[in-house]
Structure 1
Amino acid sequence: MPVVTAEPQPITPPLDRTRTGEETPGADKGLVVPETELSLETPTTPVQLVEPDGTTVGIAMLLPLSGARASVGQIMLDAAQMAVFDIAGDDFNLMVYDTQGTPEGAEDAARLAVADGARIVLGPLYGRSAAAIRPIVAAAGINAVAFSNDRTVAGAPVHLMGLMPEQQIERVIRYAVQRGYRRIGLLLPHGGYGDLVLESAR
């Protein structure tokens, strides 16, 4: 979907706005999924996020829709649109902002989201971007749920949704040991992530 800069329109239910904002992906870990079992069942009652006074709650989603990780952002956007179609009511207001895959772009996107009245922020995708938006969402008194699995950036009001590397390594090694393997080789990247994986494996 092309990036647009038009004023947001309430969606029923695709996205209602994409804004530009900027992140050169570094050692951030990217998209992760929760360790909970997922259900593909469609709720019988549509989810309707509304304030007590009946007004629509704005949900901002910060994704890299341009730049080096645009393909990842587009996949996540497609998934979000499918979810909105499946479970959201007509009063669900999803606002999408382009971070361009950079911390600076994430800051710009977060400021736009706050100015547009977002009550919660989903994203951004990378750890450095999540850290960059913390003061913005904190000043606005709202929470952000980032898609990074970089534990070092977690802390109110920025929360993480994902499976941490330590959990992944533990499960993989536990699986191997249960099947009798006692010699396990690791192919690791240089840098903080590789060091974390090695420490967790040991």
Structure 2
Amino acid sequence: MRISVLFSGGKDSSISALLMEPYFEIELVTCNFGLLPTWELAAKTAKELQFPHRVLYLEGKILEKAYEKIMSEGFPRSAINYIHEKAIETLASDPEVKLIADGTRRDDRVPVLSISQIRSIEDRLGVQYLCPLKGYNRKTVSILVERYLRIEEGPSESTPKADYETELRELIRQRHGEGKIKELFPAHIQSHVISRKELP
């Protein structure tokens, strides 16, 4: 039974895939708007994790709407959550996709869907949406990552990744410059998975 896992190349989506590996045929899916080739990094990581990977191209109007949200609100939370919802809806529109998962943790606020949003997507599009890490907090995920993955971590602006934020940042950079990015996005640490660890 195949499950499509939204995949940024980071530790959360990678651990989600590993947790489900005994039970599902894993397919990693990276979303892209065509602004930057972020999927290349995710594809390399997927190969290291030994999972098939594909790119899901999202409509440019989704990125534009997210841009409007962040510029209006001055903070990325609802913009990122909006992209996440539309990514899941787009993936769910594929008639061959029946199961969708992501790396959302228990303590995440971005990206995350409400229960009503999840039920709406499942009911309208005939899919099942899973969050394997929903019962895990950041500390517990870090324990799993330490055990099973080799990663690199660093500031969001300098750590390569294939998440929604990367292309949203690039659009803002093109239109307003680097200063606006620093104004809108709080500093935070991002991860990029290099490979699985060799277990004894």
- TM-score range relative to shorter protein: 0.3 to 0.5
Which gives a bigger RCO, structure 1 or 2 (Cα 8 Å, sep 6+)? 2
Report the TM-score when normalising by structure 2: 0.33
More helix per residue: 2
Larger radius of gyration: 1
Q: Which has the higher strand share?
A: 2
Q: What is the TM-score of this pair, normalised by structure 1?
A: 0.33
